[in-house]
């Protein structure tokens, strides 16, 4: 039987149904158990609402009062003209870290040596100013969010709280949509952290939690394709990153320009692919040339005769055999040279195509500096991905609060933590982020977007860009506040693994390769449900149990994974001494290598 290693947060939601009103109740001295006040506190129940209003009412005139620009509420989202501030930096770190510029020479993720800022920033030190700035200039939706929070914190009836909670979820996500559209400009730090961590008010979390978040490194110092959502929206809005789901949803006046951009992106991908092939062939030629030199050295090495020191002996048996090997090496060199010449021609043609398309794009000028509709479309993607990471039975409440946040420092999905875990995965699954292009294996790390939800499951949105299958990055979304962060990251990598293998097999995905072998076993077992979900759970067991020598998988699945998702050589060497099962699989590797069966 299959092992269920999935996680949900339904129990946490049930236990913490009180919600964020406890954040204020704790300070007002009124304790509400499971949403029902004790009889002695009936009169205090009214004071809870008044106390909550008093605490946040001090902000009301400045946060949701007349000084909020009413024009924001009436602005048409599709035709809004977004003004960037004068100090907008087009050479920002995000653009320098453009993930589309894939470095195929990178062997893995860098070691994380610094995880926290020293000293920490002070943006959470003044909660009132933070809350005021986070909600300011967002129009009527900010009024609605603030009003619903007051009602939610002051409600004493469980049914009322449930209604207000659902209304907050809807209103809050709509509120975030407007904040997301500001990311290409000079967005304030409270709004940035609001998007990044879903931290609406610093008082909604404990003091130690505020201190922890204030120590997190804000910039992408390691220059890896791991993004917080505010950085992701900025990249999409400025055209650095292609929107995930807006291929057919472009501004009408930008249609031709966008098509040219897509063609240019595809051509650049082919150009990068040919460059990789050229490097590979050049290395192969150098290897063959070195082998030829060694063989010639063997042949030209002579020893004097015993009778005549000035005369060398004839060729020995080893040298005679080398003549045969030498001919094979020369034939191989000529073959490699022909292939290299072909790749050079293809590279130059691809280079000319890129230049032609680049000229056409340049002739069109800057059609849109900031694509608000791309952000809008990407926001819908993030919203849907958030629901998927949480699941049907999970906690969909979007605001970071002490009731739902129970992660330790090592369990929060901040950037440095995620990079460290991806490196850990790659040290076990050698080809986790590799794809074949023209029979050459390239390591291409995916885009990783960190979504501030209470979900437990990471997902892969797409395995690569359909316009550039050669060198484009896949896209995975990982929740920041799961019960088990490593399992959440593993589920995202497993999803990526499955989708890459399925796309590679194309129409034959149920017959060939990783997905074909797994599907045939799945069908033979007459299992019901989503085959990919079974695969994800088995991959988690593969990485957490089998990699440690603990046998949890079926024999057929273990054999399939060992061949199509091989462990690193170091792990294989360790496992072959643990059990005859792994020793047999290791021997199969040697047999296939000898017979060139891979």
| pLDDT tens profile 116-150 | 988 899 999 999 999 999 999 998 999 999 999 88
**Does residue 412 carry a pLDDT above 80?**
yes
Is residue 592 pLDDT above 90, yes or no?
no
Q: What is the per-residue pLDDT for 382?
A: 94
Helix then strand then coil, in percent of the chain rounded to 5, is: 55, 5, 35
pLDDT in tens, 187-232: 899 999 999 999 999 999 999 999 999 999 999 989 999 999 999 9
pLDDT at position 93, please? 37
Model confidence at 526, in pLDDT bands (50, 70, 90)?
very high
Residue 176 confidence (pLDDT) above 60 = yes
CB 441 within 8 A of CB 469: no
How far does CA 5 lie from the centroid of its chain? 22
Contact between 172 and 379 under an 8 Å Cβ cutoff? The reply is no
Mean pLDDT value across residues 518-529: 94
Q: Which among 58, 62, 33, 32 has a CA at the least distance from the CA of 47? A: 32
The structure's pTM equals 0.72
In tens, the pLDDT along 458-492 reads 999 999 888 788 888 999 999 999 999 999 999 99
Residues 443, 434: contact at Cβ < 8 Å?
yes
Length of the chain: 598
> Which 3 state secondary structure label does DSSP give 220?
coil
Distance CA(472)–CA(467), nearest Å, equals 8
Task: Give CA–CA dist 205/207, Å, rounded.
Answer: 7
Rounded mean pLDDT, 556-580: 94
pLDDT of res. 237: 87
Going through 457-551 in order, the beta strands assigned E by DSSP cover: 459-462, 475-479
Hunting for tokens 């054999």 — which residue is that?
559
503, 476, 479, 481: which is closest to 492 by C-alpha?
A: 476
pLDDT value of residue 365: 56
pLDDT at 524 over 80: yes
What's the pLDDT band for 2 if we cut at 50, 70, 90? Answer: very low
Indicate the range of 309-323, 500-514, 516-530 predicted with least confidence. Answer: 309-323
Average pLDDT, the chain: 79
356/251: higher pLDDT: 356
Structure confidence at residue 101 as a pLDDT band (50, 70, 90): low
pLDDT exceeds 80 at position 425: yes
CB atoms within 10 A of CB 511: 12
Give the model confidence (pLDDT) of 67-91 as tens digits: 333 334 333 333 333 333 333 333 3
Instruction: Kindly provide the residue ranges of all beta strands, DSSP E only, lying in 224-280, ordered along the sequence.
Output: 226-228
Residue 31, phi then psi, degrees to nearest 5: -100, 125
Structure confidence at residue 415 as a pLDDT band (50, 70, 90): very high
Confidence of residue 41 (pLDDT cuts 50, 70, 90): very low
Tell me if the bond preceding 72 is cis, omega within 30° of 0. Answer: no
Is residue 510 predicted with pLDDT exceeding 80? Answer: yes
Asked whether the beta carbons of 251 and 371 are under 8 A apart, the reply is yes
Share of the chain above pLDDT 90, in %: 46
In the predicted structure, residue 313 carries a pLDDT above the cut 90: no
pLDDT of residue 3 exceeding 70, the answer is: no
Q: What is the pLDDT of residues 294-307, one digit of tens each?
A: 888 888 888 887 77
Would you list the DSSP string of 471-539? T---EEEEESS-S-HHHHHHHHHHHHHHHHHHHHHGGGTTTSHHHHHHHHHHHHTT--S-HHHHHHHHH
Q: Let me know: does 455 contact 488? Beta carbons within 8 Å.
A: yes
Q: What's the rounded Cα separation, in Å, for the pair 421 and 176?
A: 29
């Amino acid at each position: 039987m299959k092992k269920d290693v999935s996680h949900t947060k339904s129990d946490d939601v049930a236990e913490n149904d009180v919600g964020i009103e406890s954040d204020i109740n704790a300070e007002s001295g009124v304790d509400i158990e499971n949403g029902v006040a004790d009889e002695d506190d009936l009169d205090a129940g009214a004071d809870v609402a008044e106390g909550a209003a008093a605490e946040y009412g001090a902000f009301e005139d400045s946060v949701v009062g007349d000084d909020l620009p009413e024009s924001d509420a009436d602005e048409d989202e599709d035709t809004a003209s977004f003004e960037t501030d004068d100090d907008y930096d087009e050479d920002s770190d995000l653009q320098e870290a453009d993930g589309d510029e894939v470095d195929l020479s990178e062997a893995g993720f860098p070691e994380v040596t610094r995880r926290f800022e020293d000293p920490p920033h002070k943006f959470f030190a003044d909660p009132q100013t933070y809350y005021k700035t986070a909600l300011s200039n967002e129009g009527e939706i900010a009024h609605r969010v603030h009003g619903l929070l007051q009602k939610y914190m002051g409600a004493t009836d469980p049914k009322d709280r449930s209604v207000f909670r659902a209304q907050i979820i809807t209103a809050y996500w709509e509120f975030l949509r407007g904040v997301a559209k500001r990311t290409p400009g000079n967005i304030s730090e409270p709004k940035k952290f609001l998007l990044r961590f879903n931290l609406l008010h610093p008082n909604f979390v404990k003091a130690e939690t505020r201190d922890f978040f204030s120590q997190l490194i804000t910039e992408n110092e390691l220059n890896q394709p791991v993004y917080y959502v505010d950085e992701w929206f900025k990249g999409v809005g400025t055209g650095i990153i292609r929107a995930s789901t807006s291929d057919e949803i472009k501004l009408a006046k930008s249609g031709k320009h966008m098509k040219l951009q897509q063609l240019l992106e595809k051509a650049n991908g082919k150009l990068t692919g040919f460059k990789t092939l050229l490097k590979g062939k050049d290395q192969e030629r150098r290897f063959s040339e070195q082998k030829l030199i060694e063989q010639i050295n063997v042949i030209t090495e002579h020893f004097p005769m015993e009778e005549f020191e000035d005369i060398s002996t004839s060729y020995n048996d080893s040298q005679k055999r080398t003549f045969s090997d030498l001919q094979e090496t020369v034939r191989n060199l000529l073959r490699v040279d022909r292939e290299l010449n072909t790749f050079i021609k293809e590279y130059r043609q691809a280079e000319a195509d890129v230049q032609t398309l680049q000229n056409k794009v340049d002739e069109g000028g800057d059609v849109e500096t900031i694509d608000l509709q791309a952000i809008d479309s990407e926001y819908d993607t993030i919203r849907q991905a958030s629901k998927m990471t949480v699941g049907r039975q999970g906690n969909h409440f979007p605001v970071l609060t002490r009731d739902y946040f129970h992660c330790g420092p090592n369990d929060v999905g901040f950037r440095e933590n995620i990079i460290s875990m991806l490196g850990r995965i790659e040290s076990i699954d050698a080809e986790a982020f590799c794809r074949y292009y023209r029979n050459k294996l390239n390591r291409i790390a995916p885009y990783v977007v960190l979504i501030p939800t209470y979900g437990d499951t990471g997902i892969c949105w797409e395995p690569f860009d359909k316009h550039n299958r050669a060198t484009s990055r896949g896209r995975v979304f990982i929740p920041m506040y799961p019960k088990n962060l490593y399992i959440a990251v593993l589920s995202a990598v497993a999803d990526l693994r499955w989708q890459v293998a399925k796309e590679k097999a194309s129409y034959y995905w149920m017959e060939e390769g990783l997905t074909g072998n797994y599907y045939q076993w799945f069908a033979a077992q007459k299992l019901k449900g989503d085959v990919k979900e079974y695969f994800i759970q088995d991959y988690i067991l593969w990485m957490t149990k089998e990699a440690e020598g603990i046998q949890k998988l079926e024999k057929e699945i273990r054999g399939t994974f060992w061949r199509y998702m091989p462990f690193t050589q170091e792990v294989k060497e360790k496992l072959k001494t643990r059990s005859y099962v792994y020793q047999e699989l290791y021997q199969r590797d040697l047999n296939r290598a000898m017979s060139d069966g891979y």
